[in-house]
């Protein structure tokens, strides 16, 4: 049986994919190969543990956060088709090549708290069209609906790549023998109904009433208004939770809460919410803040945060109606 590897897939794909965009995606994939290799080495590579200082988000960085961020920078800084890029780990954007056609935003290592316990982590990326020859900050302030590509790499028992160019979602599995991502599923579809949800229920007391109502109904199971039992899953890595939805359906929620009323949400619009929303919508699901479509949110800053509620269409419509 012959397999389609990522480079072949990118070469043969037409319509929404230019050779220049294909080259950017290929560079990101190769960067993730390197991150994956060092993750497999674990403690042997000396990349576990805290780096003992904070990133721009005020979060304590892991050694692998810094290593992964450096790999993305190395892959994109001199890429001829990248006009500039921005990382969740860095305060400002970085200009790259004049006349580069694309801007890249990335979370180099999602789920950092899982690193030292050998659990699922991942990398998330979003690609926007460049607006002018020399990149400025305002060029990144495009809503998620302007994305030309989005995806993630999940470093798990199998290393997998989820990828969309706006014409559906494809999944690739990393083949360690040929050292390449191999196409393993096209036209991914999320079931409109589900009996599975993911949320950090330790924040229950801080949620707004619509979310409390919704989760309470799910927990009531067959005896409640929903008339069926639900299972809760929580990986503490957005990549893992979204991959589960793409694989078998479900709902993921990191809603607005009153724990930190000054923060409009927990997750970053540009590095997490937008690329994941594009994947979910392209697979037939919905993605909302609870009050509006995530990919319609107009960015006002590189590190803007938003509430995130996404997954099975029927459930998301119910949650929105409660808001």
Q: State the chain's mean pLDDT as an integer.
A: 93
What are the tens digits of pLDDT across the range 7-32?
Answer: 999 999 877 799 999 999 999 999 99
- Would you state the pLDDT for residue 25? 98
- Would you state the pLDDT for residue 244? 97
User: Which segments are annotated as binding site for substrate?
Assistant: 110-113, 200
Alpha-carbon distance values, 283 to 9, 51, 96, 188, 296 (Å): 19, 37, 32, 5, 18
Helices (H), 13-167: 19-41, 63-76
Q: What is the pTM of this model?
A: 0.94
Spatial strand order in the sheet of 82-87? 94-95, 82-87, 102-110, 121-129, 149-155, 159-164, 169-175, 180-185
How far apart CA 14 and CA 6 sit, in angstroms, is 14
Quickly count: other Cβ atoms within 10 Å of residue 109's Cβ.
29
Does pLDDT of 50 surpass 70? Answer: no
Domains parsed from the chain with CATH numbers: 6-185 (3.30.540.10), 196-322 (3.40.190.80)
Q: Give the pLDDT band (50/70/90) at residue 99.
A: very high
What's the angle, vertex CA 202, arms to CA 53 and CA 116, rounded to 5? Answer: 40
User: Which segments are annotated as binding site?
Assistant: 88, 107, 109-113, 200, 272
Does pLDDT of 96 surpass 80? Answer: yes
Residue 184: enclosing H or E segment and its boundaries?
strand 180-185
Cβ pair 295, 277 in contact under 8 A: yes
What are the tens digits of pLDDT across the range 292-311?
Answer: 999 999 999 999 999 999 99
Burial tier of 39 (Cβ tally within 10 Å: 0-12, 13-18, 19+): buried
What are the tens digits of pLDDT across the range 119-138?
Answer: 899 999 999 999 999 999 99
How far apart CA 153 and CA 106 sit, in angstroms, is 11
Cβ pair 263, 297 in contact under 8 A: no
- Would you state the pLDDT for residue 98? 95
Q: Give the pLDDT band (50/70/90) at residue 46.
A: low
Question: In the numeric block, which tokens belong to residue 250?
Answer: 């479900």
Cβ pair 112, 62 in contact under 8 A: yes
What are the tens digits of pLDDT across the range 263-275?
Answer: 889 999 999 999 9
- Cα atoms found within 13 Å of the Cα of residue 139, Cβ hemisphere only: 26
What are the tens digits of pLDDT across the range 182-222?
Answer: 999 999 999 999 999 999 999 999 999 999 999 999 999 99
User: Which segments are annotated as binding site for Mg(2+)?
Assistant: 88, 107, 109-110, 272
Q: Considering just the CA atoms, what is the radius of gyration of the chain in Å?
A: 19
How far apart CA 250 and CA 253 sit, in angstroms, is 10
């Amino acid at each position: 049986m012959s397999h389609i590897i990522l480079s072949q897939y990118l070469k043969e794909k037409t319509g929404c994919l230019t050779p220049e965009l294909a080259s950017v995606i290929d560079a990101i994939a190769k960067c993730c190969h390197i991150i994956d290799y060092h993750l497999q080495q674990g403690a042997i590579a000396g990349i576990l543990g805290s780096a003992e200082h904070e990133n721009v988000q005020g979060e304590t960085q892991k050694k692998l956060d810094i290593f992964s961020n450096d790999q993305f920078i190395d892959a994109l800084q001199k890429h001829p088709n990248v006009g500039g890029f921005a990382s969740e780990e860095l305060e400002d954007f970085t200009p790259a090549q004049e006349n580069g056609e694309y801007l890249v935003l990335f979370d180099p290592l999602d789920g950092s708290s899982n690193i030292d316990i050998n659990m699922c982590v991942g990398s998330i990326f979003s690609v926007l069209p460049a607006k002018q020859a020399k990149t400025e900050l305002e060029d990144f302030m495009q809503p998620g609906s302007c994305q030309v590509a989005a995806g993630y790499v999940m470093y798990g028992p199998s290393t997998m790549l989820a990828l969309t160019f706006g014409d559906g979602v494809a999944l690739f599995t990393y083949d360690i023998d040929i050292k390449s991502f191999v196409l393993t599923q096209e036209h991914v579809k999320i079931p409109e109904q589900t009996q599975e949800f993911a949320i950090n229920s330790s924040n229950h007391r801080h949620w707004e009433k619509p979310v409390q109502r919704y989760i309470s109904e799910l927990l009531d199971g067959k005896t409640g208004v929903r008339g069926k039992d639900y299972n809760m899953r929580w990986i503490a890595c957005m990549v893992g939770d979204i991959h589960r939805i793409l694989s078998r359906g479900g709902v993921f929620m990191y809603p607005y809460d009153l724990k930190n009323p000054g923060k409009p949400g927990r997750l970053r619009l540009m590095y997490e919410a937008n690329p994941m929303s594009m994947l979910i919508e392209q697979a037939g699901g919905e993605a909302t803040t609870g009050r509006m479509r995530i990919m319609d949110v107009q960015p006002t800053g590189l590190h803007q945060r938003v509430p995130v509620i996404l997954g099975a269409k029927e459930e998301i419509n119910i949650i929105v109606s409660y808001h």
